[in-house]
Structure 1
Amino acid sequence: MHTNLFTSGARTALAGIVCVLLWTACRKDNKTSEPTPSGIDTTSKPASAYEDSLKYLMYQIMQVSYADGGRNASAGLPTYYWYSQVPGINPLDAKYANADSLLSVMKSYAINPVTTKPYDHYSFLDRNGVLTNKLMNGISAQTFAATNNGDFGLDYGIALDGGNNAHIFILYADKNGPAGQIGVTRGWEIISVNGNSNISTSQTFLQSLYNAIFNSTSVTLGFKRLDGSTITKTLTTTSYSINPVVFDTVFTVVDKNNIAKKVGYFSMYTFASIINSNGQDTYTRTVLDQLFAKFASQGINNLVVDFRYNGGGAVSTAEYLDNAIAPPAAAGQLMYNTIFNDKLMAHISDVKLTTTTKFAAATSKLNLDNVFFITTGNTASASELTLNNLKPYMPVKLVGSKTYGKPVGFIDFNISVFDQNHNQKYLADLYAINFETKNANGEGGYYTGIDVNAAANDYVNIAWGNTQRDDNLKAIVNYLTTGSYTSGARLASTELNDLRQAIPSLKPVNGFNGMVDYERSRIIRSSH
């Protein structure tokens, strides 16, 4: 759910939006909105006026007050976690070309003494609401953006072979998306893009590839499947219900004492919310219910959760996973604490926010000896929250590489304006850091990431669930069978030469790293 920034009374008054439009008759210190002066055509405001509106309201919400969407400084409180370290700024200063440049400056003031860099390299504006709808409602498109018709439901990585030739591999594909619906999956190689089979690392090609996958409505891709066969298909973007679980299986290993261990494994690429803005269960909830029912019915006693590409999402889904995994002893106990800025904490009961989250009265139906998480530098925020919350209550082991490092999260503020005819104009969703989390042992603050118990490589041309060639699963199977993550066996040089690792610098970042608490968004909305 978007945080609704307008009371019904405010809607009738916000024709010219408070003091932001320089050519309206309101001043920055107005405490109530004024109607637009007669003769002003609010239905055809220049883009710069809307951008000024966004800059002003964003600044107010973060630094002054969230009441009435930043319009009422006499009520409400600042929401930005590091607001006290940001000096007084005139958000309408011409040196800030747009709201994004203003936000970049605001993010630069709170410095992490460990890294000597800003804490906040997370906050951003979602300009079309697509991300918000993905996370909140589990839908791949958003009606705010008339030109957005969804996506292809895949992500890719670029690797080099021994001869420095570039190869494009599918990292994952949503089963419900256009790519997943034709069988595209991890490890397939893209061998042509819109008829161009000259795959290279030139900047021109890399940019054209990115635009073809993420900024177009149709693309024709040539694929080489894992079995070596090829296929060419044209994909068209569409809106679909997100299925965050891209693969799952159950397998059995036998340890050195000849004891069989049943292992459940699943890979999850995002944390779409389990509840939508109307309070209804999403497809994500349905999929996760079925997954854990399957694991329970098959009697698994070890679980592998693959978060290698999971940048996080809705906090409600993290809480669901923790309740589904945690042992019975955790039932009713503290799951994690939420810490807001000092002003919100001082008035926490007034704003009706909660600072503690507990496990459900009844937790997992699983009887787990271990839970393993496969992680990389793409594992962020809600993913890190999930595994961190479990540490006080059960053995939690990480395999892969250090996580991204984001112990802080967002409350979603939807910023819109209304013209004199009360027509809404969507501007952006503001995701500025609002809170920090710590588990029941007080552990948090992992701004530089969470270390792994065992290092493993991410070979992008290997299928999901391959316990013989996936370096992460091999390490976990070794641990379960021998008690050690490593084995004495060495890969043959020919086999090693065939394994590919993606090079992050060859693709612009397009994923989301964060955790969003939509329930607290609803609470803070209703408090003013």
Structure 2
Amino acid sequence: MHKKLFSSGVKGVLAACIFAGVLTSCHKDKPAANNDNNNPAPSVSTGDTTAIKEDSLRYLMYQIMQVTYADGGRTANRGLPTYYWYSSVPVLNPFDTKFANADSLLAAMKRYAINPTTNAPYDRYSFLDRSGVLTNKLMNGVSSSTTYFSASGDLGLQYAPVLADANGTVRIFVLYTDKNSPAGKAGVTRGWEITGINGVTSFSSTSSSLSYIYRSIMESDNVSLEFKRPDGTKVTYALAQSTYNINPVVFDTVFSVPVGLSTQKVGYFVFYTYASTFNANGQPTVTKTELDKVFTKFQSAGIKNLIVDLRYNGGGATTTAEYLDSAIAPSSAANNLMYSYQYNDKLMAVINDIQLTSKVNFPSQTGGLQLDNVFFVVSRNTASASELTINNLKPYMSVKLIGDSTYGKPVGFIDFNITMYDANHQQKYLADLYAINFETKNAKGEGGYYTGMAANTFANDYVNVPWGSTSDQNLQQAVSFISDGKFQTINKNARAAREAVNLFTPIEKATPLSTFNGMVDFRLSKEARRR
């Protein structure tokens, strides 16, 4: 008999019940009064709903990560903790007053597992999503607030501030828009300059000015933006946050590159997030539809090289990485190992019994492309499922990275949706827990890129250059390799000369992309619901 992994609830929920002011785990069989002498179930006041919710969230988060997700923590060996680095964390009391809330408890837990290479904590990834919108965004391909402040959607726009002069004057350029978003439908695209925000037309590199830009564009429900197009014309749009079906394919094209006395077709597309290819109901999403269109185009054109632009892609669903890898991989990869999972030691010891996926193979038939090379345009914003896509292909074909080192996240999440029941037996949502649960390795056992994957060659990201332009150094590098078999040498410190002719790079660390960095395996959440 296989062990039950979760109590009843949605998405493999480990729910809590509060009856007569006592928190207990919702198992069909009655649990022991205290499942851990060091961490007893709390007595809470029914009069303070906010305090009850926060206490419940702290308790359940700690139980899932450190104690068990199978049997209420009643076993002598402390059950089956899910946190990848659980063994580095000492026994903590989640109700200790030094933890103001669940977030501070999680922050404390993340500090214990230290990477000896960097002498810093491994875990710079785990977090709580209290709005609950991320799962809808990644699993169902429906936009949600990119900053998790509301469920009203977003503008579908990412931007970058650049230094215009030595006086700290800042100019703002659009990095990309989703075609289905409010900004995308208005026609806004990469390379447009934002010259006015709600009537403000002067911006600086001060923290207050950068904060104003961010709050106005990323957090406000409505904003008036003045744009200057690359041709110099101006337009002003009043944009409102909205939900929409995500289209992660920002741009795609096929172009020819001279190779010797002939030419070769090259496919190029920009992919900004790993929304699932199938939603929670098993229906294909816009992500699948658009990827299928792109690869049908590439196959019809007979491309010999492929450029996948992931420079702003922080990841998402692992199954989308698998779908993309299957479309790109050569026929020799069919039926062979794509990647494997490594869980913590206690889960690995019973992996067959609990039936969590431990290996993923390529399908019996790959996409049919006969590629000489696949080039990935990457940056410090390229993370997790994007890195998984790259790593999976390395054992089977020529893979080249152009740009800068990637973010560094070879680990991922299982989706834990945490709820409680109040004194009236009403289920109350608390948060989605995204704490690291597994690490991945490719078919050669390669992984562990916690400090990022190094690029094969450097290229500047000139944010005012439109997609597909010959002025894009990343594309120049790919074309150089395809034509001559080698990359160009680019001086990283020569940016000032480029910017003198209006080619701009972002202010480093001024405003991080307000996107999700990670990989989530929703398939594991489904497996965990099995009885």
Cα distance, 1:211 vs structure 2: 1.2
What is residue 485 of structure 1 aligned with on the other side? 487
CA contact (8 A) 1:19 1:28 kept: no
The superposition leaves residues 185-243 of structure 1 with CA deviations (integer Å, 9 ceiling, x where unpaired) of 11111101111112122222211211111211101000111111110000011110000
Q: In the alignment, is the contact (CA less than 8 A) between 1:176 and 1:241 conserved in 2?
A: yes
* One-letter amino acid of the structure 1 residue matched with residue 217 of structure 2: I
Seen in structure 2, the aligned counterparts of structure 1 residues 18 and 126 have a Cα distance that, compared at 3 Å, is farther
Alignment map for 1:323-342 (pairs within 5 Å) = 323-342=326-345
One-letter amino acid matched to 1:53: S
Alignment partners' CA distance in 2, 1:487 and 1:496: 20
SS in 1 for 2:408: coil
For residues 265-414 of structure 1, what are the structure 2 equivalents within 5 Å?
A: 265-414=268-417
| 1:276–1:73 Cα change, 3 Å | farther
The DSSP-based 3-state class of the residue aligned with 2:160 is strand
Cα pair distance change 1:320/1:493, threshold 3 Å: same
Superposition RMSD in Å:
2.8
Task: State the partner residue of 2:27.
Answer: none
Determine the C-alpha separation between the residues in 1 that align with 2:507 and 2:499.
20
**Structure 1 match to 2:196:** 192
SS in 2 for 1:151: coil
Mapping 1:88-487, distance limit 5 Å? 88-141=91-144, 147-163=150-166, 164-255=168-259, 257-466=260-469, 468-486=470-488
The answer to whether 1:29 aligns with 2:35 is yes
User: Displacement, 1:492?
Assistant: 12
CA 1:4–1:334: 2 relative to 1, 3 Å: same
SS in 2 for 1:349: helix
For the Cα contact (< 8 Å) 1:392–1:441, is it kept in 2?
Answer: yes
Task: Name stretches of at least 5 consecutive residues in structure 2 with no aligned partner.
Answer: 25-31
CA offsets per residue over residues 429-462 of structure 1, 9 Å max, x none? Answer: 0000000000001110000111111110100000
1:353–1:204 Cα change, 3 Å? same
3-state secondary structure, aligned to 2:353: coil
Closer, same or farther in 2 for the Cα pair 1:494/1:106, shift >3 Å?
A: closer
Return the offset for 1:165. 2.0
Cα distance, 1:7 vs structure 2: 5.0
Give, in whole Å, the separation in 1 of the partners of 2:450 and 2:488.
Answer: 29
Q: Deviations over 1:61-91 (max 9, x none)?
A: 00011137xx554495100000011000000
- Whole-angstrom CA distance in 1 between matches of 2:14 and 2:66: 23
Aligned sequence identity (%)? 55
Assess if the C-alpha contact under 8 Å between 1:137 and 1:282 holds in 2: yes
How many pairs does the alignment contain? 508
| TM-superposed deviation, 1:147 | 4.8
Residues 411-433 of structure 1 deviation map (CA, whole Å, 9 limit, x = unaligned)? 01000112243322111100000
TM-superposed deviation, 1:101: 0.6
Conserved? CA contact 2:14–2:416, under 8 Å:
no
Flag the 1:4–1:266 CA change in 2: closer, same or farther, 3 A: farther
TM-aligned CA deviation for residue 496 of structure 1: 5.0
Unaligned ranges ≥5, structure 1: none
- For the 8 Å contact 1:17–1:417, the answer to whether it is kept is no
Q: 1:326-371 CA distances to partner (integer Å, 9 max, x unpaired)?
A: 0000000000111000000001011111211000000022111110
C-alpha offsets along residues 229-281 of structure 1, whole Å, 9 cap, x if unaligned?
Answer: 110000011110000111111100112x1121100000011000111111221
Distance 2:207 2:398 in 1: 45
Deviation digits for residues 127-150 of structure 1 (CA, Å, limit 9, x no counterpart): 1012221111111138xx995210
Q: Residue by residue, what CA displacement relative to the aligned partner does 1:103-137 show, whole Å, maximum 9, x if unpaired?
A: 01101100101001111111001110122211111
Q: 2:9·2:15 contact (CA, 8 Å) conserved in 1? A: no
